[in-house]
A and B are shown apart, each in its own frame.
Chain A
């Protein structure tokens, strides 16, 4: 009896771990924001091999059960016009070429249906998002080309305002979206490219929400109620996003999820854009260098005790906050792997099963966990595709 009791307690705990593992590895786990693309240009990086640094590669995706990924196309928001277009093309090509190179593991996907098919075949779905409207060179025809090449979301701005949308981390000049910016949103609807409102100013968000016929996504933003950062969304914004069927994909960046960290970091270096500015100057044209130096600097400051440690469990707090606010249908995962400083315990994508287990321990239903892991985003994709078909039929 006694022996039996002693055995049963740990057995119960293992039961959850086991069930969580099963759930996680049978689900579509979709991450909407990964800056791994920048690394494709480095000789030291190979997507097909396990790398000692960074957050994402095929072996670690397999280990962490991450089977759908949006590779982010990103260049400094101050590069505009034709050079921005060409650099974006280079990055789109780098994603395409990696998919060809690793075609046994990866499948390039443009639709929710294709993501499901890739998953059924045991492949990782590779998708593309363009992080910043500056990359269309102020030309709607370039946006169409991005659509033709398989881009499935575009973030309306990056850290700086572009020609037609205000950013959350720049001084407003357009009062949100310009008329041309609204045309861009309409064209995105027509192309089936999801409108991503991460990075944009609150006014841009509300303008886009009003114009868009399809639900919006925040590809990598967290909750302002828990960490007051302009890159995060206020409760009102999350409610408005959800009311139109959209989804917020939680960003794991320490300074977006932890108030103490954000405050300490601001005091040290004057905020994320100031840091970014200083680092870009030292890296020049090398985009991978920018990201690497940003994360390295923060890591070092944490080790030196100048910045507080942040636990991965903060991610769960943010997910839970959204669920409490608007229900389980409007939240997902937008890690910012390879583009941000990860909290302790979420060092790379191999740690993702922790999220599933933590949500299960919180009492989340299996179906709701599946939605958060990827189902919600696929629903929004399908909706964007439906709107696109309708608009094109007109």
Chain B
């Protein structure tokens, strides 16, 4: 104690002396030095970002800092986000060759942004490439296709998505596709059809991760049974905290974990907070009004729709018409998922630029707060690293191993 005292006093004195200098840099989010050190030395992976939609207007430059949305290179740097899955997404109602074509355009848009910023970004398709990019101080850019409707029931198209670098596919979006039921549509296939199972098998062979976010519970179990590689939920949270079909039940998370998979917690307020969810349900006119206003401001521009939707929701919260949700809800979900599924089976799937962010997690710059909060909650540094990205990297490596094995069987 006697020995400790002067050191503590000295530290306090130093803090007081430098406080004036530090305040400007730290802003309101006070992150401990230990958290910062851990956060910025870890590989932080986010498996779901809808920023891709913003690339399509031809004006958005990911290299520049923006005052709207959540993702760009400067803010990823500031928040220590090292690997990002850009989501290839078009609405479920777009089907057929048109869906294939529009998916290709988005894939090329992602590749184009990477080509434009070769010093900042590196296209990655394997866990090793993510690690290599991290070593070189580059942000790893990856791609996930959000919805099986984009392959137009054609395995050749799936294979070419893989050739172009796509590393996961969500089996459905919010509507059923031709071969899988969605969690937010009326079941039509009783889960996965036979062709749907072939899709999962082909994804295994190609090393494309099977993503069960968005799918119905039956589809999830069918995929779990069929897949030879662990699966991911690229952006889903816990149903026992917030009861929405897009989230996973405790049992589903346990079963996902038992096969080595990982649930990547979604930051969308409507998936995090039961209170918010109830308020939305109780006041359907609010969502209707938001949808109308979004349509007015954006027309068919989906990138604009996503950003404006988030902005308008915030306005309703500010007016007290919807409850305010704090970023600590994310921590609650992570903590719950860890308790249920184990610390090896939880990660981050923000849904940045595609959902309504909670207070304190407005953009990628806020990510160190997650590390800080987890450490404060008593998580070990090793466990925090797993949640930040190592779990996802492990699943990727395993998926790659299964793919190599299955490919070998086929060669002549």
Contacts and interface: CB of A to CB of B under 8 A. Distances in A.
B163 A96 contact: yes
Given A86-B152, A139-B105, 14 more contacts: A82-B96, A82-B97, A82-B101, A86-B101, A93-B157, A96-B163, A101-B410, A101-B412, A102-B412, A142-B104, A144-B108, A144-B111, A145-B164, A149-B163
Given A89-B100, A102-B412, A104-B412, A96 B164 contact: no
A86 B154 CA distance: 9
A31 to B, nearest CB: 23
How extensive is the interface on chain A, given as a class?
A: 20 to 34
Interface residues of B, number: 24
A59 interface: no
CB-based closest 6 A-B pairs? A82-B97, A93-B156, A82-B101, A90-B156, A141-B108, A86-B97
A345 interface: no
Contacts of A90: 154, 156-157
A145 B100 CA distance: 12
Interface in A117-157: 137, 139, 141-142, 144-145, 148-149
Q: Which of A89, A90, A96 has the most CB of B within 10 A?
A: A89
B105 A83 contact: no
Interface of A: 48, 81-83, 85-86, 89-90, 92-94, 96-97, 100-104, 137, 139, 141-142, 144-145, 148-149
B107 A145 contact: yes
A100 B157 CA distance: 16
B259 interface: no
Interface string B151-167: 01010110110011000
Contacts of A142: 101, 104-105, 108
B96 to A, nearest CB: 7
B104 A92 contact: no
Given A100-B411, A141-B105, A144-B111, A149 B98 contact: no
A130 to B, nearest CB: 13
B404 to A, nearest CB: 12
B298 to A, nearest CB: 22
B412 A145 contact: no
A92 B158 CA distance: 12
Contacts of A148: 108, 111, 163-164
Given A48-B412, A100-B410, A145-B107, A93 B159 contact: yes
Interface in B320-363: none
Interface string B96-139: 11101100110111011000000000000000000000000000
Given A86-B152, A86-B154, A141 B159 contact: no
Contacts of A82: 96-98, 100-101
B380 interface: no
A92 B160 contact: yes
B287 to A, nearest CB: 32
A145 B154 contact: no
A151 to B, nearest CB: 12
A96 B159 contact: yes
A83 B100 CA distance: 9
Given A85-B100, A142-B104, A94 B412 contact: no
Nearest to A141: B108
A41 to B, nearest CB: 10
B88 to A, nearest CB: 12
A141 B115 CA distance: 14
Interface string B395-412: 000000000000100111
9 contacts: A86-B154, A89-B160, A90-B156, A104-B411, A139-B105, A141-B104, A141-B109, A145-B164, A149-B164
Contacts of B98: 82
Contacts of B410: 100-101
A302 to B, nearest CB: 37
A103 B411 contact: yes
Contacts of B156: 89-90, 93-94
B101 A137 contact: yes
A121 to B, nearest CB: 16
A149 B100 CA distance: 15
Interface in B60-110: 96-98, 100-101, 104-105, 107-109
Q: Which of B105, B112, B160, B164 has the most CB of A within 10 A?
A: B160
A340 to B, nearest CB: 26
A277 B265 CA distance: 57
Contacts of B109: 141
B323 to A, nearest CB: 42
